[in-house]
Amino acid sequence: MRTFDNSTSSTDLFRTPRVFQRMLVTGGAGFIGANFVRLVEQEWPQCEVVVIDKLTYAGNRENLAGTKAKLVEGDINDAQLVDDLVGNTDVIVHFAAESHNDNSLKDPSPFITTNIMGTFTLLEAARKNGVYFHHVSTDEVFGDLEIGAPTKFTESTAYAPSSPYSASKAGSDHLVRAWARSFGVPVTVSNCSNNYGPYQHIEKFIPRQITNILDGRTPKLYGTGEQVRDWIHVDDHNLAVLDILSHGEFGETYNIGADQKDINNGEVIELICELMGRPGDYEHVADRPGHDQRYAMDATKLREELGWSPRYTNLREGLEQTIAWYTNNRSWWSASKESVESTYASQGQ
């Protein structure tokens, strides 16, 4: 069993950084995980990365093309496989999840199996092998905030998840903290706001609208479109995860958010339409049941204790880069477009 230096100090920035030679990334063939693997190769070239990914509809081998990462196709619920992989790594970075709210409203079952049971399986392997476990979670565990209010979620906001997806993520966060407290597993947790950027599945809001326009379809706004999300570029999320891995304090949770001024879905869709030369050309469709109204993250702890700050501070520029990526990588998304849209159409969305 390894031991870890976790001496606390008020100047965490100056703590000796942890350095890893081997890293296990769960869900590394998905959107954020694949961008993370690319970032690790760039920032920590000494580190050998192994990815475990079930390659569900959301996972794609191509997302790791050109990287040196070893991809093991497998389920995080496969205890034997997980134990073998965890026994040969220095750190687990846990991204694997069922991640789409709308899907969780149709069939919650895989959300419970992967997000809760899968996290349990990984934690047991981390406990047995004495391996550091970083858990990637979401702002949605805190529920939602009132539109127009000045409040933000902090690390001590009470959990109040609304959907089967967010409830399953909340459950997994609780397991991680319990394994730290009861069994001494070295853990950190991060809760991040809405990501955007390359390789995001086209079921999600921003890539759905970009590819709708590229494919000659009309962008679709749920309900009134007044809901607010706290958009962050995926690289900024992943840079924060690297900061936490290297000098975050074991047992601690860090909120990640880019401090965008509140922008609602209607304004985001207007901006995408304008940037793509189709101003105002979108339609309203059926709203999401139980739709969370507003998310806003207070990331002061991450900024002050770990020295993180976002590189993408201008959503317009981040969207321009993202639009260019989907425009230049049509073959990555075009085969799945028809089936994604026919599923949405069957829901009136």
Q: What is the rounded distance in angstroms from the CA atom of residue 325 to the CA atom of residue 252? A: 35
Residues 248-307 that bind ligand DAU (CB under 6 A): 265, 288, 295
Task: Kindly name the residue from 53, 75, 98, 165 that is annotated as catalytic.
Answer: 165
Q: What is the rounded distance in angstroms from the CA atom of residue 308 to the CA atom of residue 186? A: 22
Gyration radius (Cα) of the chain, Å: 19
| Sequence letter at residue 222 | Y
Which of 70, 174, 158 has its CA nearest to residue 115?
174
131 binds ligand DAU (CB under 6 A): no
Residue of 35, 162, 188, 227 interacting with ligand DAU (CB under 6 A):
227
Q: What is the rounded distance in angstroms from the CA atom of residue 43 to the CA atom of residue 4? A: 22
Task: Please report, for residues 35, 77, 215, 313, the alpha-carbon distance to residue 335 in angstroms, rounded to integers and kept in the order given.
Answer: 21, 29, 11, 33
- CB 241 within 8 Å of CB 27: no
Instruction: Tell the smallest beta-carbon distance from residue 136 to ligand NAD (Å).
Output: 5
Written as six digits, the tokens of 12 are 């965490």
Closer CB to ligand NAD, residue 53 or residue 243? 53
Q: What is the rounded distance in angstroms from the CA atom of residue 348 to the CA atom of residue 342? A: 10
Collapsed DSSP state (helix, strand, coil) of residue 10: coil
53 binds ligand NAD (CB under 6 A): yes
Q: What is the rounded distance in angstroms from the CA atom of residue 169 to the CA atom of residue 117? A: 11
Q: What is the rounded distance in angstroms from the CA atom of residue 33 to the CA atom of residue 155? A: 23
- CB 99 within 8 Å of CB 56: no
Closer CB to ligand NAD, residue 107 or residue 283? 107
Residue 120 binds: one of ligand NAD, ligand DAU, none (C-beta under 5 to 8 A by kind) = none
Q: What is the rounded distance in angstroms from the CA atom of residue 129 to the CA atom of residue 79? A: 13
Closer CB to ligand DAU, residue 171 or residue 186? 171
The question of whether 259 is a catalytic residue gets the answer no
Task: Kindly name the residue from 75, 140, 270, 305 that is annotated as catalytic.
Answer: 140
H-state helical runs in the chain: 31-43, 79-86, 101-106, 109-111, 119-129, 164-183, 205-214, 234-247, 265-275, 300-306, 315-328, 330-346
Residue 288 binds: one of ligand DAU, ligand NAD, none (C-beta under 5 to 8 A by kind) = ligand DAU
* Contact window for ligand DAU (CB under 6 A) among 18-26, 98-106, 147-155, 248-256: 98-106
26 binds ligand DAU (CB under 6 A): no
Residues 66-85 that bind ligand NAD (CB under 6 A): 75-77
The question of whether 165 is a catalytic residue gets the answer yes
The question of whether 140 is a catalytic residue gets the answer yes
Closer CB to ligand DAU, residue 140 or residue 252? 140
- CB 270 within 8 Å of CB 227: no
Residue 255 binds: one of ligand NAD, ligand DAU, none (C-beta under 5 to 8 A by kind) = none
* Contact window for ligand NAD (CB under 6 A) among 96-104, 151-159, 238-246, 341-349: 96-104
Residue 33 binds: one of ligand NAD, ligand DAU, none (C-beta under 5 to 8 A by kind) = ligand NAD
Residue of 54, 229, 233, 237 interacting with ligand DAU (CB under 6 A):
229
Report the interface residues with ligand NAD, using CB under 6 A: 26-27, 29-33, 52-56, 58-59, 75-77, 95-99, 114, 118, 136, 138, 169, 192, 194-195, 201
Report the interface residues with ligand DAU, using CB under 6 A: 99-101, 138-140, 193-194, 204-205, 208, 220-222, 227, 229, 265, 288, 295
The set of catalytic residues is: 139-140, 165
